[in-house]
Amino acid sequence: MEPIRNLEKRLFHPFAIIFTVSAEGKALIVCVVGGKDSGKTAVAEALIKELVRAGFKVGALKHSKEGAIRLEPEGTDTARLKDAGASVVGFANRENVTMLTLSLPLQTIISVFEVLFDVIVIEGLRGSELPKIAVDGGDYENVIARVSVSEKSWKRKLKTVAKIVKNAKEKREIALIADDRVLPTNRFVNGLSMRLIKALFESLRGGENASFGALIARFR
């Protein structure tokens, strides 16, 4: 049996994937990771469009290992407020409020986003345990899809990811995917599949208390 780590590198085609998803009311988080100039921003942008089209309110974060950057121009009123020591600087008018600088820990900001949005798309955080879309061939944890912007059909995979998110937000505990299509199921199929997969995982060492499981099968 080929290790799951090797199988997931070729997700989605030509495998059928059966996996469980848990949603506890908080925003779902998806990271888009990859090397420099791999197309991460293009993939994150296309994913956000698909999620918004599916009816979700989406928050986006850009994570970088580089030093501090300024979003407010030097010498402006907002820059002066920031330099005075404010942790959060925003600009408000009759139309909206724009947050320019939040000098807060990343996890704090994510916690705020979890309350405000249905889905959070983060460009970066390759070393985290969060679900990821990999835009290159790197070895990352918890990869749910691999996308190459050089492929003509790469945006179709993002449509599938959006469907997966929708299933999770609707608190469907299981989704069946063949190649890059989410298969229609009913309550009987969902219940039967869940019981079989849960029994399989619970019979294996390390799978007794898992909250998320993935079973990947190659049919041909």
Task: Report which listed range, 2-6, 56-60, 91-95, is most confident.
Answer: 56-60
Say what the pTM is: 0.61
Query: Rounded to whole angstroms, how far apart are CA atoms 42 and 147?
Result: 11
- Burial class for 150, CB neighbours closer than 10 Å (0-12, 13-18, 19+): exposed
Q: CA 28 to CA 54: how far, in whole Å?
A: 14
Model pLDDT for residues 144-165, shown as the tens digit of each residue:
888 889 888 888 888 888 887 7
Residue 17 makes CB contacts below 8 A (sequence gap 6+) with 11, 176, 177, 214, 215, 216
Residue 208 near residue 34, CB atoms below 8 Å:
no
Pairwise CA distance, residues 118 & 133, whole Å: 18
Q: How far apart are CA 32 and CA 99, in angstroms?
A: 23
Residue 182's pLDDT band, with cuts at 50, 70 and 90, is low
